[in-house]
Structure 1
């Protein structure tokens, strides 16, 4: 297979955020991205979901789209790799667990530890927020527009605690600094503020890219797509970063990226247009 010189080569990996990027921010539908999804499937380009969603939510979408590739959940807290997906694996100190049909690589803290630290934190501070742990499934439905079944899956957190920020916007920076003293990281998503361990969307993705390269004779070109601040690390670590326009918030600020693309359209429309334009023009 001939390869083009420069950044655009024949072997691609696509890593994508879900809500507001591949999925419509309001309806959670992906149908407008189907032409590009089918193009990638036919071209054997793996699509890696890199999301704030839970394992249950992400695996369900994988099955819906017949996507049998690895995926990253809860803002980089864990990577799930289907067993027998890679013939060779990297020798690293990342904790790995048997998770049925998958190998689970753990990059974050357990939710129980996060909740314990948040309880201690809340006793010392007066910030106003509403955590998933305090919400019923019906509460979550009202906040997000999810169905009851979808809300139940969203509640199955393993490595993070999303918060609905109810305080003044200008207090958020101080909140982040104070939580860092408790060994917790805070990442702002499209709807929620996510509290997790010292992980982000880039760490497992960089590891996964190395796994692909270990199992290939070719260097991989990583394309990442996202629309929110919690996607910045993922976008910055990619060879090609695509910022998807959002109907509800400003785009994340990406500085000095050598191959930065901004979508012409929002959500899955932008996803579809950006991927088809990029891959078809360089086929």
Structure 2
């Protein structure tokens, strides 16, 4: 017997990168839910952001926030034979990151190391964050509700190598992006979160069952997740897959999100005799 587990990024992977549409994924997610195949968001988003989306899509499986800084398992939908973490506001929380105040303080130290100011989400008002992101006021407020990490505007005058060196010198990790980078704790990361969740699911396997992991992502901040699954799948953008993901020999979904997510999930599930109706 094979237990499939699907790990998925959100923006540009499950959701369209421009419109954030996910409508065509809902029937597939409901079929996967009925088959007891977990669909686990692994994202840079906050718990507040993911909670809203999970309600809309109908997900109840665990989820990973802030680039692998926190794993959340609903207390009322805990699939494990144990309490996987501390109880907090209706969830068991596996804390892989650092406290938000520590991330904020770390950003100031790193700015001094770089001799360059760094503008974090915590430095911005809701209105200012809306200007940088295009989010609604409600969505911007949810994006600011950080618990473990601090996103900041990627400075143009500093190389990614310089940013990484300064961050590591003070004991943090960073996910460098084109527009925003994310300062995370030393034990955080999407790959670490995937490994932790796989271990939890292995603890409840029936005799003779094996886990097969599927990962879907679209950008360099998904690399750690995709490196830690059995079947990595890359969602292309309108101009094709991201250059850092397109040349690794990984499966490329036939079209952008959300339709490409549906097509890729149907195809990979067919390989394991799981028939989904798109």
Separation (CA, whole Å) in 1 of partners of 2:80 and 2:242: 42
Residue 274 (1) aligns with residue 267 (2):
no
Deviations along 1:47-101, one digit per CA (max 9) or x if unpaired, are 001110001111111111221111110000010112261342389xxxx321121
TM-score by length of 2: 0.88
SS at match of 2:119: strand
In structure 1, list runs of 5 or more residues that go unmatched. 4-8
Q: How many angstroms does 1:46 deviate by?
A: 0.9
Of 101, 106, 127 in structure 1, the residue corresponding to residue 116 of structure 2 is 127
> 2:154·2:179 contact (CA, 8 Å) conserved in 1?
no
Separation (CA, whole Å) in 1 of partners of 2:72 and 2:83: 15
For residues 98 and 34 of structure 1, do their structure 2 counterparts lie closer, same or farther at Cα, with a shift above 3 Å needed? closer
Deviations along 1:25-49, one digit per CA (max 9) or x if unpaired, are 1122211323432332332211001
Number of aligned residue pairs: give it: 268
Which residue is equivalent to 1:37?
A: 29
Which residue is equivalent to 1:205?
A: 194
For residues 130 and 87 of structure 1, do their structure 2 counterparts lie closer, same or farther at Cα, with a shift above 3 Å needed? closer
Q: How many angstroms does 1:222 deviate by?
A: 0.8
Of 204, 216, 224 in structure 2, the residue corresponding to residue 225 of structure 1 is 216
Q: How many angstroms does 1:251 deviate by?
A: 4.2
Separation (CA, whole Å) in 1 of partners of 2:119 and 2:183: 12
Residue 238 (1) aligns with residue 226 (2):
no
Separation (CA, whole Å) in 2 of partners of 1:190 and 1:157: 20
> 2:111·2:117 contact (CA, 8 Å) conserved in 1?
no
In structure 2, list runs of 5 or more residues that go unmatched. 274-278
Of 10, 14, 19 in structure 1, the residue corresponding to residue 6 of structure 2 is 14
> 1:34·1:272 contact (CA, 8 Å) conserved in 2?
no
Of 67, 74, 82 in structure 1, the residue corresponding to residue 59 of structure 2 is 67
SS at match of 1:31: coil
**RMSD after superposition:** 2.2
Which residue is equivalent to 1:6?
A: none
TM-score by length of 1: 0.87
